[in-house]
Structure 1
């Protein structure tokens, strides 16, 4: 497949992608979806670690579904960065790029002449983004960072789980994903800065920083009170009722975010007497008396099936939701209407299903141009296109195991 240079708002920008596994590839896939030409650099023979995170495999390939979910709209080139020739070739390729994204250990790329300081000295317009567990500075900078470790260190696990039970991580690797999203935001801000000044800069993203920033209302609760928030399971720390309830055939989420809605709920379901009780009249009172609220509502909710409740709540404009499995998510009419599952044509025939890009734009937005690449699939084409190499030169590099 060819790259459509006119596709997306970031068309015309080239990204040198030295990332692997999750946080970095999340960032570079977003850039690729929005039109950037992403050159994914991988180790000869093995490639991105996540290719082997399987089963499950992408049907018809040797790659894990994990890899496929993070690497569309990229072209794969294999480079042996452990060799001096490979390092020199990487530096030549970077000269033709606008952005470099990497998630090596702090200082590792400097040994190859590919650190920010080395490249910035000769290519001051380059935007260089580093994604690590703990950032480029501070006492933990040299340490490796992994999602569950960062969820634990960053406080998320202390907030997640049932009261009195074990701390839990989330079901998806949120600190990796947050780091990738913040990296993309930082790169876009750096592009605007370069537009104004002509200079690139180093964007330093730490997973721990993004985890702490993502504590949001719970972090502010601690800063305001000096008290560690309790684990509340599926309940909301400052809004009640905003939680899971049992129904006649399963469970659902009831979300009542203000007093007017709670009053409407009570009137709609024969519970007007609750509004005569000072424990229920205001949200502040309900937070202080959350056990009484749960005890009052649970017998009511469990009397009818989930579908009945969803229909009745929608008629009263009150928030309610089923707790969907992924099968139900991907069959949901709203998800389907928003094209959140996309089929990308494969060069070998057929298609591969991937998750859709969530940013909608009124003009040109995300596109799906390239299937997740096979390892080194575009090596020859990229060396010819970007560096103008001839076929014999490429063959010699391969013979010397540089590519």
Structure 2
């Protein structure tokens, strides 16, 4: 296994879906030993473990990505014996990650006061819809609701249509990413003081953190941002433009870049035309300018336009889908995608570790494993339970 920057640290991952487990994935990618805790199989239950094990378009390929580099154990946290086993794990761990509804761990006698008593250096990472405090904290929270409350849903989509989803679980992933950042901050604090603490990452606040200057635009100027579709109002030209075989993106709103675009179009005169000379003038005639550029791109092939843009140093690019990523030489050169062995999926390819660290790059060592695949390794080798004890706990539904 390649050594990652977080090698030697251990994280217990509790919870399910995306908001918590994506944080665990980020840390596992960089060498942290992540032990994912899932409920044991129940007789007659059609599903098992984290629901992400059963999600995916066509095939259940989401968990192999989200569960990669993690060890998985089963544990019934509603059982006192399961709670005691978790506390034993906590004594030997650096982090505990959870994304249950606030109050759930406390109901199981597994709140931070109880767990920090077992390990004063424990860093508890808590991801939830609304945070651990405030009047909305007890509410059920999903990523979509946090995206709406944080403001991104109002800005996503075309202004002629209702607010749109961006096509990904962006609220969950943002909250998980900020949770990971908070965990590393808390780890640095522990290095200085020996003290653990709670990292409280709320989905709506993670989205809010990405909202640029939308709030002061209102408080200072009374302006409320609304959906603008594929453009940034007042920044032109920067849009998707049609070609004969595909749409492409061109961004040339800076004066010098716009001049290069005009030369590429065979219209150097446009750069000095009073209607388009200068940032403000182009912004005032944004639709007019976009139509002019679209008339130029429309009869040409996308590859030809992109080659011209590259020759003239104008930022431009295809609008990628998975097949484009798999055949792009830049993706290949940077190993942005990696093929991972899996017993069920013969051609499993997923995104590689980010960011790239020069000395400790991290690595995708294995895809998300089967439910409870590491029960013996954790309960026997780490906690010292005998084979007989493990078998009995299994029969009684504790693990």
> How does the TM-score come out when normalised to structure 2?
0.93
Alignment deviations for residues 321-350 of structure 1 (CA, whole Å, 9 cap, x no partner): 112221112221111211122223447996
User: For the residues of structure 2 that align with 1:17 and 1:169, how far apart are their CA atoms?
Assistant: 28
Check the 8 A contact 1:133/1:145 in 2, yes or no: yes
Q: What displacement does 1:238 show?
A: 4.3
Aligned CA RMSD, in angstroms, stands at 1.9
The equivalent residue for 1:88 is: 84
Is the counterpart of residue 138 in structure 1 residue 134 in structure 2? yes
The 3-state SS of whatever aligns with 1:216 is: coil
Q: What displacement does 1:230 show?
A: 2.8
Is the counterpart of residue 188 in structure 1 residue 190 in structure 2? no
The equivalent residue for 1:101 is: 97
Given the superposition, is the C-alpha separation of residues 287 and 340 from structure 1 closer, same or farther in structure 2, using an over 3 Å criterion?
same
Alignment deviations for residues 76-98 of structure 1 (CA, whole Å, 9 cap, x no partner): 10001111111111111111111
Count of residues paired in the alignment: 393
Match of 2:51 among 49, 61, 80: 49
User: For the residues of structure 2 that align with 1:128 and 1:23, how far apart are their CA atoms?
Assistant: 15
Between 78-87 and 352-361, the greater mean CA deviation after superposition:
352-361
The equivalent residue for 1:396 is: 392
The equivalent residue for 1:61 is: none
Q: What displacement does 1:174 show?
A: 0.8
Q: Which runs of 5+ in 1 are unaligned?
A: 58-63
The equivalent residue for 2:45 is: none
> How does the TM-score come out when normalised to structure 1?
0.93
Check the 8 A contact 1:21/1:67 in 2, yes or no: no
Q: Which runs of 5+ in 2 are unaligned?
A: 42-47
Match of 2:197 among 175, 197, 201: 201
User: For the residues of structure 1 that align with 2:229 and 2:57, how far apart are their CA atoms?
Assistant: 31
Q: What displacement does 1:147 show?
A: 2.0
Check the 8 A contact 1:72/1:372 in 2, yes or no: yes
The equivalent residue for 1:30 is: 26
Is the counterpart of residue 280 in structure 1 residue 276 in structure 2? yes
User: For the residues of structure 2 that align with 1:14 and 1:271, how far apart are their CA atoms?
Assistant: 60
The equivalent residue for 1:296 is: 292
Q: What displacement does 1:8 show?
A: 1.1
Given the superposition, is the C-alpha separation of residues 220 and 326 from structure 1 closer, same or farther in structure 2, using an over 3 Å criterion?
farther
User: For the residues of structure 2 that align with 1:279 and 1:145, how far apart are their CA atoms?
Assistant: 49
Match of 1:339 among 335, 338, 345: 335
The equivalent residue for 1:248 is: 244
